[in-house]
Chain A
Amino acid sequence: MAKLLEVKNLKTYFFTDEGVVRSVNGVTWDLDEGETLALVGESGCGKSVTAMSILRLIPNPPGRIVDGQIMFEGTDLLKVSDAEMRSIRGNRIAMVFQEPMTSLNPVLTIGQQIRETIQLHLGLDDEASTARAVELLELVGIPEAAGRVNDYPHQFSGGMRQRVMIAMALSCNPKLLIADEPTTALDVTIQAQVLEIMARLATEFGTAVLIITHNLGVVARYADRVNVMYAGEIVETGTAIDIFKRPRHPYTIGLMASVPRLDATEKVRLTTIEGQPPLLIREIPGCPFAPRCDWFVDKCSTDHPELEEKEPGHAARCWRNPLVDAKTRELASIGIAG
């Protein structure tokens, strides 16, 4: 079956006064129809730039997609005209960002904004689009929706605004929803509300989802597959089970061990990844993770590892093959395994 989205060797750079920032440095991945893929990694590793590249919303200057292909439903998005891209955005590909207040227009009512989107993309008349707007608000659990379509964004809470954004994003029945930290600004109980609605609607409409989040719990709950990014590259990719249960890259292993678990009954010391991620302004000859890596060997600082399949559907970018069950982690922490 053809893939819905195939990102091939994507490179997005920013040309700044200090030098070239290699924000996305040759990433390749794909997404099936209806699938949910999570993009995780440390702040600044290139997650949002990846998303913005797919939407062709990279500010130029200073940014530019310097290489690669983004095949969506068989067409290369990097080759289509600006006008075509505008009609794909919000129609075939929808998006939800972190801050719903800035994504909604404060001087238009919620209803006006949903109607505008629907009319633009579906060509419905006023009456039909109003009815559809109310329906959508009901769908995302806004109580008394018929009365509240006339409210302005500031009359809605953060969680309600984000649900409106999701309603608008899904109103045109997109094939792909890109959600960049969609619930980061929200409280846990509201976050759970919003994510459940998003997941339910995506399943109902058969929408594929690219979700960017730093919340590993959210990834564990919703993602079919996971891409772990580090310094502008994908360092590990696999199913959620692969990534959480059998991580194969030292960064992923460190990441998993550095979050306290809600269901931990014993107090264990957290594992840390010492140091900082590298600046992307400098060309890195070897593995970008090398200075922080417990599995480091000399080769790591000189030769750049490729993303290599370690088991079917599960690949990691690492010269070593860190054994990864709990036992090894324990040994590694006292400096034996590796």
Chain B
Amino acid sequence: MLKRKAALAAIPIVIFLLGWEALSRGSLLNPYLFPPPTTILMELGNLFMKGMPAQSALLMHVGMTLWRVLLSVVLGIVAGVIVGVAMGLNRAVYSFFDPLITVLMPIPGIALAPLFIVWMGFGNQTIVSLGVLSAFFPVVYTTVAGVRSVDPQLVRAAQMMGSRPIGVVLNVYLPWAATYVFNGVKLGLARCWMTIIAVEFVAASNWGMGYMIWNAAENLRADVVYGGILLLIVIYFILEKALINRLESRTIARWGMIRQA
């Protein structure tokens, strides 16, 4: 069933790529602006081999971006959950942070890049800070909602059995909020990913997929730009499947708190 669905979804993509290939090879499309997909793949291969065996240029770009994204997402989640739990449990904390978050959340990470570059210069500090910020907001919001929706009977059950306040937070509020937090993490990952690629356009020195794509564009290498975009699609797909879906199936799905897709 699932295999068939995947096959059906692949058909339009294959037709699109074949059409592109044919038009480009037949010079009906400008091959400099629209290089054929096979050329793009070959160029990705070349980039992969470049610098080998010491270090592959392509892997360096990918690795650097992945490292920045993972670090930002982890820090963003930790900060978001801590602030979210505090806001969810305490009215005063909520009233303090809520207006700040409401004002800051709509600002796209890339819009803050110039400011952060002034503060911290080009490089990892700026990129990761903006990544953390973009992952943070959705996690805070969903964590607050999760904590507030807790089943009071479960809290009472834990208190009855002698659990101390910190134990109740860790053993009841947090696992209860997990379903919500995961939604926040998905949104946070998406936002963080976009922010980091975009900030790498302007603030990365030498490595990162955003840098690779920007640099290729400046050198009029459309094939590398396309290759980079293709990689963005593939890597994000893997990130979501490998990280989030796996985490979900091991936790909230196993606990019967969501039905698995």
Partners in one complex: no
Which B residues form the contact surface with A (CB < 8 A)?
Answer: none
